[in-house]
Amino acid sequence: VAKSIGCIDNRAASNVSNKNLKYLEDQYCSNIYLDAQLNIEENTNQDLFLEQLLLCSIIGYEDFLRFDWLDMILSWQEPKY
């Protein structure tokens, strides 16, 4: 969110903050990926899985964009929709 509204800039003084943000994103999405795999194996927390998948894929983590996961998500939909 901070990046999308312009709170993160490219000035030298803010490079430390930007690097810290990238580090946090890496750590967060790495943990989320492991959690997502566990949720898939146990068939639990579908809503959390979708939220986490969306968050990390939007900020650029392509590992979350998997065809098998997309097919699974679509299978959760009611057929009439």
The model's pLDDT over 8-24, given as tens digits with 9 standing for 90+, comes to: 555 555 565 567 888 89
pLDDT at 16: 59
Q: Is residue 30 part of a domain?
A: yes
Q: Is residue 5 part of a domain?
A: no
pLDDT at 35: 93
Q: Is residue 7 part of a domain?
A: no
pLDDT at 20: 83
pLDDT at 38: 92
> Global pTM?
0.69
* Integer Cα distance of 8 and 79 in angstroms: 43
Q: Is residue 80 part of a domain?
A: no
pLDDT at 77: 86
Give the domain extent around 60. Answer: 12-75
Q: Is residue 43 part of a domain?
A: yes
Tally of domains in the chain: 1
pLDDT at 57: 94
Positions in the chain whose pLDDT score sits under 70: 1-18, 81
pLDDT at 11: 52
> What type of residue is 35?
D
